[in-house]
Amino acid sequence: MSDKLFIKGTLILTLTGLVSRLMGFFYRIFLSHTIGAQGVGIYQLTLPVHAIVLAACCMGIQAAISRLCASFTALGKEKESRDALLLGTFLSMALCGLLSFLVYWNADFVASALLKEPRTAVLLRILAFSFPFSALHSCVNSFYYARKTTGIPAFILLLEQTSRIGSTYVIYLILISQKKEITPVIAAGGALFSELTATVACMLALGLDFSRENYKPVTGLLRRILRVFFCMCKGTHRNSPSAVKYISHIPPASAKNNTATSINVLLKEIAQIAVPHSVNRLLLTLLSGIEMVLIPQRLLLSGINQTDSLSVYGIFTGMALPLILFPATLTNSASVMLMPSVASLQALGHEKKIRHVIRRTCENCFFFGGAVGCERCAAVFLPEWYLPDEFPNHTLPLDSDRTEFFAGYLAAHPEILEEIPICAIKISGSGFKSLTHRDFMGGILSLGIDRAVVGDIAVVSEAEAVVFVHERIKNYILTELTKIGRDGMKTMEI
């Protein structure tokens, strides 16, 4: 993939993501005014279930489709690319359909025992119908990402968001006209309708694409699957005459430079990519879901009543977090385009170009930190009463003066610094060897420390650097970092 295509695709997805997030932000404001912060909190409690289902049935297969379709397209194998799409989509929808059935019939148990909120049961039953449709349009989006045709997924995303807002508003008007209570059901109904709309758009896009390429999935892929299945059911040996009769049209597994197109090999390739990716995404989503469910429960233990705890949870997850994560739109778009880019270059054997694309992507993403000159930042939220009296109405200084203002203000109020779990450690070598940023970073990470708790490293000289780390690993670094390579190190907190 050329730099121009990569940048174009990233910009399209970024602009679409920004518009979609902006629409979603105002949509959440509408929900907060109609069903209240508590209602938003109840609806947000169901989202971890939706995320877990997609992580288990969709995310890994989606990555496999993007990877395989990009490779096939780069090699000019358009038919095999569409075979991978249909087979992956079929598997994803089948798995999602099974989990949808389980969620629907066990909604009361999930709501009461796991989410600790019985009022989410009806929402889970509504959302259960949307899971297969979510899987379908996610897989179709991966297919178009692999082909670098980002305009279609971008349009579908905007269409989905528009239909979500419009359908929710229509349901709201219907309930108002019938003088019925406005509940979080309107949000679940809007989500289901938006998935249906996105699915219809995906089917239309695929229909046009298949007709242009004269691709016939029913007479092609499905017949091959049925023939392989027939041989498996009969227990027929693959080399027997009857087996050859039913699967003779299936090409054999490819040699070194050819991608195998048989159903069995394609299934194996999808599984090799999808299974580890799905397990990883499932574990991450489970941990995130547990965290989200625990938030209102911990608030209850702190003395807040159930209504207020759900309200706080709804404001945090439905309003604050989307706004905080707003700048991540660009980096998310770049990551989506990076997968098919690397897959295409790998299929063509362009190893040097792969390193170039990854390096350029990482370098550009490094520009998006929390402050000027910083690449790794942590957000700190201070209450209003921390602001000094010289700023009336709690107004902040201009951007050009903020860094200097907060540096002086924090220096004059060290009690604030005590609440921020970040500390600076000075690392000094003997001076006989010149050390670079890479050397200091390698020495720290060689201790088994997670990169997430290590901030920027300011290299002062060839033998000295200052590293910003989370407070919980401070003592470990001070005691264990004694050498970088063969050079002895001294550490001290500053």
> 434-453, pLDDT tens digit by residue?
888 888 888 888 888 877 77
Residue 88 has pLDDT above 60, yes or no: yes
Give the per-residue pLDDT at 106. 93
Token representation of residue 372 = 């000027």
**Tens digit of each residue's pLDDT (9 = 90 or more) over 201-232:** 999 988 888 887 776 654 455 555 545 444 54
Report how far apart, in Å, the C-alpha atoms of 177 and of each of 167, 169, 171, 439, 479 are.
15, 12, 10, 68, 69
How far the first Cα of the chain sits from its last, in Å, is: 47
How would residue 372 be classed by pLDDT, with cut points 50, 70 and 90? very low
Pick from 19, 58, 482: nearest CA to 270? 58
Query: What is the side-by-side strand order in the sheet with 422-429?
Result: 454-461, 464-470, 422-429, 487-493, 483-484
How would residue 360 be classed by pLDDT, with cut points 50, 70 and 90? low
CB 163 within 8 A of CB 197: yes
Report how far apart, in Å, the C-alpha atoms of 75 and of each of 1, 241, 348 are.
13, 33, 7
- The β-bridge partners of 423 are 469
Who has greater pLDDT, 381 or 17?
A: 17
How would residue 193 be classed by pLDDT, with cut points 50, 70 and 90? very high
Stretch 310-318: mean pLDDT: 71
**Tens digit of each residue's pLDDT (9 = 90 or more) over 385-418:** 555 554 444 445 444 455 555 555 666 666 666 6
Give the per-residue pLDDT at 101. 94
Give the per-residue pLDDT at 191. 92
- The β-bridge partners of 491 are 427
Who has greater pLDDT, 478 or 363?
A: 478
d(CA 449, CA 444): 7
* CA atoms 319, 325, 327, 328: torsion sign: negative
Chain centroid, CA 172 distance in Å = 30
Give the per-residue pLDDT at 201. 93
What does the angle CA 72 – CA 76 – CA 79 come to, to the nearest 5 degrees?
A: 65
d(CA 37, CA 112): 20
d(CA 332, CA 435): 33
